């Protein structure tokens, strides 16, 4: 039987780490960091608050690293205004938006420009719809191909191709389900290919190692030795 308790916070490096606390009939205390960066503690019934916070202080460095890890998956690209001259990313390269009045809606890349042919260039909602549809179509084509490429690196593990779903997520670049489905944020198509491959590798590793354990990181290192470089670039480029 679970019993929720008032959470709290511990100091760490000039900041505070808030946590949610639940008591449960169990023998051990667990600390987890959720994808939304919240910290959850599940403690045995009757555990003293001092003991809980002592454990949190001991794990504080790990908690902060996990929060930073999940923060890397948050899409942070500023809101677009969909006006001519505005910069838009595609596979890590910057393209200038060029609005052209035309009877038939079309979007295409032409020599450094993302050209949007539209009946009314002043209709920002229509322009946004065209651009987002273009991105999603290219994401559907490219991301599926990248998954097929990356999974070949897992040959020794006989990993089967997963079901792929594209879904816009506010807090994540990717995720996977216990049933073996990999979910990717179509906004990833804006990132460099190496960053996209990093996210795919990360999610495919989770199909073999569900938790962020040492075995998971060893596997990720084996499949993509320079994963930290691409993780950092994803954070930098997509801000």
- What pLDDT, on a 0 to 100 scale, did the predictor assign at position 1? 55
pLDDT at 118: 97
- pLDDT per position as a tens digit, 63-97: 988 887 777 665 555 677 899 999 899 998 889 99
What pLDDT shows up at residue 169? 87
Q: What is the pLDDT of residue 78?
A: 60
**pLDDT the model gives residue 162:** 92
C-beta of residue 35 within 8 angstroms of C-beta of residue 55: no
| pLDDT at res. 74 | 57
Please compute the mean of the pLDDT values over residues 3-25 and round it to a whole number: 83
pLDDT for the residue numbered 82: 92
- Which pLDDT band, with edges at 50, 70 and 90, does 160 fall under? confident
Confidence of residue 34 (pLDDT cuts 50, 70, 90): confident
Two structure tokens written together for 205: 């590793």
Q: Would you state the pLDDT for residue 45?
A: 92
DSSP-derived 3-state class of residue 67: helix
In this prediction, residue 183 has a pLDDT band, given cuts at 50, 70 and 90, of very high
Residue 13, phi then psi, degrees to nearest 5: 55, 40
The residue with tokens 């998971």 is 216
**200-219: pLDDT as tens digits:** 999 999 999 988 889 999 99
Percent over 70 (pLDDT), the chain? 94
pLDDT for the residue numbered 76? 52
- Contact predicate 238/191, CB 8 Å: yes
What is the pLDDT, as a whole number, of residue 193?
A: 93
28-34 long-range contacts (CB < 8 A, ≥24 apart) are 29/55, 31/55, 31/56, 31/59, 31/63, 33/63, 33/66, 33/67, 33/70, 34/70
Picking from 93, 103, 72, 91, the residue whose alpha carbon sits closest to that of residue 172 is 72
pLDDT band of 136, cuts 50, 70, 90: very high
Q: With H, G, I as helix, E, B as strand and everything else as coil, classify residue 148.
A: helix
Residues 37-70 pLDDT 10s: 889 999 999 999 999 999 999 999 999 888 877 7
């Amino acid at each position: 039987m679970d019993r929720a308790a008032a959470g709290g916070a511990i100091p760490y490096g000039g900041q505070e780490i808030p946590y949610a606390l639940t008591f449960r009939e169990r023998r051990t205390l667990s600390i987890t960091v959720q994808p939304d960066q919240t910290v959850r503690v599940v403690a045995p019934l009757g555990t003293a608050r001092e003991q809980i916070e002592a454990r949190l202080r001991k794990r504080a460095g790990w908690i902060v690293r996990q929060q930073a890890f999940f923060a890397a998956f948050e899409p942070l690209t500023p809101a677009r205004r969909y006006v001519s001259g505005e910069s838009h990313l595609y596979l890590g390269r910057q393209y200038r938006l060029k609005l052209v009045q035309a009877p038939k809606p079309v979007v295409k890349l032409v020599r450094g420009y993302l050209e949007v042919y539209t009946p009314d260039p002043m209709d920002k909602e229509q322009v946004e719809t065209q651009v987002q549809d273009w991105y999603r179509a290219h994401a559907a084509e490219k991301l599926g191909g990248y998954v097929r490429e990356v999974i070949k690196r897992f040959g020794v593990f006989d990993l089967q191709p997963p079901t792929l779903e594209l879904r816009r997520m506010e807090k994540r670049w990717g995720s996977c389900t216990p049933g073996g489905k990999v979910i990717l944020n179509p906004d990833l198509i804006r990132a460099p290919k190496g960053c996209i491959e990093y996210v795919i590798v990360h999610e495919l590793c989770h199909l073999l190692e569900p938790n962020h354990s040492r075995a998971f990181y060893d596997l990720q290192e084996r499949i993509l030795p320079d994963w930290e470089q691409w993780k950092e670039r994803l954070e930098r480029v997509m801000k």
